């Protein structure tokens, strides 16, 4: 599990003085890119190789509100990997209180610039090994 910490910005709030629900999805994306970099398979290297990882689906369960001035920790873990698809689990907690604010999941695939599916085992074997190690809970070499 990797933790990404960020402040809640004023522009992310709505007229109810809390973070608009769409921003949590953006936070998941920030945290996912951070997770990948911290765990040895940076997203920018995928893109440099002509591979992108679009979102297939996203889920969020909101438990309590985040407000301007809060700082949140977003814990990310790899929850599934099949070489052509990858999924992540997120838990957003208030840094000060530890209260869970939101939990979510994202599911992605890997495609090339033509939109065709890509197997990381063939296209980027080092990323494949890293993802498999993370999924099994082993130390990444």
Model pLDDT for residues 11-23, shown as the tens digit of each residue: 888 777 888 889 9
Is the Cβ–Cβ distance between 95 and 141 less than 8 Å? no
Report the CATH superfamily, name and number, of domain 2-136: Hotdog Thioesterase (3.10.129.10)
**pTM score:** 0.92
Average pLDDT of every residue of the chain: 94
The pLDDT value recorded for residue 1 is 87
Whole-number percent of the chain with pLDDT over 90: 85
For the residues 34-55, what does the mean pLDDT come to? 95
User: Environment class of residue 44 by beta-carbon count within 10 Å: exposed (0-12), middle (13-18) or buried (19+)?
Assistant: exposed
- For the chain, the domains span 2-136
Distances (CA, A) of 107 to 116, 129, 130: 17, 19, 18
Give the alpha-carbon dihedral of 35, 39, 43, 49, to 10 degrees: -170
């Amino acid at each position: 599990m990797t933790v990404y910490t960020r402040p809640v910005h004023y522009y992310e709030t709505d007229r109810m003085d809390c973070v608009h629900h769409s921003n949590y999805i953006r936070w998941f994306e920030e945290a996912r890119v951070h997770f990948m970099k911290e765990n040895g398979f940076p997203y920018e290297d995928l893109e440099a190789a002509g591979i992108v990882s679009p979102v297939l689906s996203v889920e969020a369960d909101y438990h309590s509100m985040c407000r301007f001035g809060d700082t949140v920790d977003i814990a990310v873990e790899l929850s599934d990997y099949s070489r052509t698809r990858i999924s992540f689990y997120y838990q957003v907690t208030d840094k000060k209180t530890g209260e869970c604010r939101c939990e979510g999941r994202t599911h992605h695939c890997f495609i090339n610039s033509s939109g065709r599916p890509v197997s990381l085992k063939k296209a980027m074997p080092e990323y494949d090994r890293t993802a498999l190690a993370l999924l099994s809970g082993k130390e990444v070499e």
